[in-house]
Amino acid sequence: MENMFCFQCQETARGTGCTKVGVCGKQPETANLQDLLIYSLKGISSLVVQAKEEGIEIREADLFVIHGLFMTITNANFDNNRFIEVITEALAIRDSIKRTLVNKNIKLDLSSDILTWTASTSEEFKAKSESNEVSVLATENEDIRSLRELIIYGVKGLSAYTHHAFNLGFEDTKIYDFVHKALSALLDDSLGADELVALTLETGQFGVEAMAILDKANTTKYGNPEITEVNIGVSNKPAILISGHDLKDLEQLMEQTQGTGVDVYTHSEMLPAHYYPAFKKYDNFIGNYGNAWWAQKKEFASFNGPILFTTNCIVPPKGEVVNRIFTSGASGFPGCKHIVAVDGKKDFTEIIELAKTLPAPTEIETGKIVGGFAHAQVFALADKVVDAVKTGAIKKFFVMAGCDGRMKSRDYYTEFADKLPKDTVILTAGCAKFRYNKLDLGDIGGIPRLLDAGQCNDSYSLAVIALKLKEIFALEDINELPIAYNIAWYEQKAVIVLLALLYLGVKDIHLGPSLPGFLSPNVANVLVETFGIAGIRSVDEDIKMFLG
């Protein structure tokens, strides 16, 4: 019997699955509780779907399910007690929906474990979380398992984006309906590979919708990202480092730090916050500190001040830094203080007071990086870009969006960006950019050769830009554009970005540094044959192939 089974991210052990402990540091107990949370959410969603079929609208579980899925994303939450609390809440919600349906004389299959299991002590939760029916491996057929997990990972990614949009007051109930439908479908043994492939593409469709709503939320609240130089040096004041993807948390932190003498820096996926007009007004919003998530151990030590995680990616901290790390939203780590919202407001006083007692950050680099090339900014430059394509000054665009990670094989992306010919432009989004955003790649007639649209969800901007170019050049097919896709993936948000691109009809996407371990050989074949998905080889071979 294995301690756990998880193969949801790119760094999974041996490329096949973490079975003893997560490469990410996730302990078996946490992995199993995450499986149990997913199992509980599937139970809830199956009831919501059944109710809908009977004409009964149930909305009480929508956000709860979205948030629960978000909590299970790689490196978001390592807190067993928090998982037990949320699963307990899931059982209460499930039973409340059950009562509603029974009262309306709806027939339920109460022989099904997913609708009837209970637990109350942590030992009972642990025992249930280790049972066979809860594991990913409960689905014996490896192709069906592969497709089911591909869908659930996509749904996790779209749930994260949906939750951010909700925090800013934007939502579309069609997305919640789809999430319930997808989770419920994963319990249906009558669905074969064809139906699950169709559901995979539908997941991509809702991925596009989720990213579109989040884009609308971010740009309505904070303005359209614009070309921005971001300082990577430091000031001499004590400071707070904010990581993750939640801009609402950043907004509240900025408001609460005004006049306190405490500065704020972004980390990893929070870097693109600097591109939004709304955050430019704060004098204490100094710049970005460090690189992508995986370098945090060293960088948090030299930052000296408190760190706020608003989402993934947390590397399990050890020693004194645990006392400086705070979490919010879907993120969590045992021993780190979790800040909850009360009536939509998070009180960051404790973090600010702690910052005042700690030294200013130690400088680890100096200079500036440039970003802010989301759709509106690129459209403003459209004439210049189109001319450059027409005159041949720009021969090709390379979409290099996605995630960064700790594997040495990701040096590929630095070398790839560096070796691309000078008449090419890189379009990026997500933390993948930290592999090449400090290289001097130059510009083409004033257009920088590296255009950073923002966070991983801003891959949506890259799709919008591609669709606009297709329209301008009057092309039939998005694949006729001079755009190549060389995407780096790590966690489940990259999975939804990939599925969104597939749904939009993009073909021949290269995915690295390795193909997902959760793709069975047959499912991988379908992706290769239907969509032209491929892995990566050496930089020289790949550049030759892309330009060939």
The footprint of ligand SF3 (CB under 6 A) covers 75, 245, 268-269, 293, 312-313, 403, 430-431, 455-456, 490-491, 493-494
Closest distance of CB 179 from ligand SF3, Å: 19
463 with 504: CB under 8 angstroms? yes
Are 290 and 301 in contact by the 8 Å Cβ rule? The answer is no
Q: Can you tell me which of 1, 2, 3, 8 binds ligand SF4, judged by CB under 6 A?
A: 8
**Interaction of residue 35 with ligand SF4, rule CB under 6 A:** no
Site for ligand SF4 contains 495 (CB under 6 A): no
Report what 493 binds from ligand SF4, ligand SF3, none; CB cut-off 5-8 Å by kind: ligand SF3
Q: Which is nearer to ligand SF4, 7 or 289 (CB)?
A: 7
Pairing of strands 263-266, 239-243: parallel
Q: At what angle do helices 142-167 and 193-222 cross, to 10 degrees?
A: 20
Q: Which does 269 bind (CB under 5 to 8 A by kind): ligand SF4, ligand SF3, none?
A: ligand SF3
Q: Residue 12 or 266: which CB sits closer to ligand SF4?
A: 12
9 binds ligand SF4 (CB under 6 A): yes
User: Can you spell out the DSSP letters for 467-529?
Assistant: HHHHHHTT-S-GGGSSEEEEEE--SHHHHHHHHHHHHTT----EEESS--TTS-HHHHHHHHH
Residue 11 binds to ligand SF4 (criterion: CB under 6 A): yes
ω before 359 within 30° of 0 (cis)?
A: no
Eight-state DSSP code of residue 332: B
- Residue 510 pairs in a beta bridge with 486, 534
The entry of ligand SF3, ligand SF4, none near residue 262 (CB within 5 to 8 angstroms by kind) is none
**Which 8-state DSSP code applies to residue 393?**
S
Q: Are 90 and 68 in contact (CB under 8 A)?
A: yes
Residue with smaller CB distance to ligand SF4, 26 or 145: 26
Q: Which is nearer to ligand SF4, 153 or 434 (CB)?
A: 153
Q: What contacts 24+ positions apart, CB below 8 Å, involve 260-265? A: 260/352, 260/356, 261/237, 261/356, 262/237, 262/238, 262/352, 262/355, 262/356, 263/235, 263/237, 263/238, 263/239, 263/360, 264/239, 264/240, 265/234, 265/239, 265/240, 265/241, 265/289, 265/303, 265/361
74 binds ligand SF4 (CB under 6 A): yes
Residue 473 corresponds to which amino acid? F
* Residue 30 sits in the site that holds ligand SF4 (CB under 6 A): no
* Residue 22 partner contact from ligand SF4, ligand SF3, none using kind-dependent CB cut-offs of 5 to 8 Å: ligand SF4
* Maximum alpha-carbon separation in the chain: 70
Among positions 3, 23, 235, 438, the unique one binding ligand SF4 when judged by CB under 6 A: 23
Residues forming a β-bridge with 265: 241, 287
Nearest residue (CB) to ligand SF3, 36 versus 241: 241
Question: How does DSSP classify residue 18?
Answer: B
Nearer to ligand SF4, 403 or 500 (CB): 403
Nearer to ligand SF4, 296 or 424 (CB): 296
Instruction: Answer with the entry of ligand SF4, ligand SF3, none that 490 interacts with (C-beta below 5 to 8 A by kind).
Output: ligand SF3
| Residue 177 binds: one of ligand SF3, ligand SF4, none (C-beta under 5 to 8 A by kind) | none
Return phi, psi of residue 478, to 5°.
Answer: -60, -25
Q: Are strands 424-428 and 345-346 parallel, antiparallel or unpaired?
A: unpaired
How far apart CA 354 and CA 243 sit, in angstroms, is: 17
When the beta carbons of 74 and 256 are compared against ligand SF4, the nearer one is 74
Q: Which does 431 bind (CB under 5 to 8 A by kind): ligand SF4, ligand SF3, none?
A: ligand SF3
Residue among 256 and 296 whose Cβ is closer to ligand SF4: 296
Binding segment for ligand SF4 (CB under 6 A), chosen from 16-24, 111-119, 130-138, 331-339, is 16-24
Asked whether the beta carbons of 246 and 167 are under 8 A apart, the reply is: yes
Pick one of ligand SF4, ligand SF3, none as the site partner of residue 26 (Cβ within 5 to 8 A by kind).
ligand SF4
| Smaller CB separation from ligand SF4, 17 or 277 | 17
Options 2, 27, 28, 31; binder of ligand SF4; rule CB under 6 A: 31
7 binds ligand SF4 per the rule CB under 6 A: yes
When CB distances are held under 5 to 8 angstroms depending on the partner's kind, the choice from ligand SF4, ligand SF3, none that residue 8 binds is ligand SF4
Q: How far is the CB of 405 from ligand SF3 (least distance, A)?
A: 7
Whether the CB-CB separation of 74 and 8 falls below 8 Å is answered with yes
Q: Identify which of residues 7 and 326 has a Cβ nearer to ligand SF4 in the complex.
A: 7
Question: Residues in the site for ligand SF4, rule: CB under 6 A?
Answer: 6-9, 11-12, 18, 22-24, 26, 31, 74
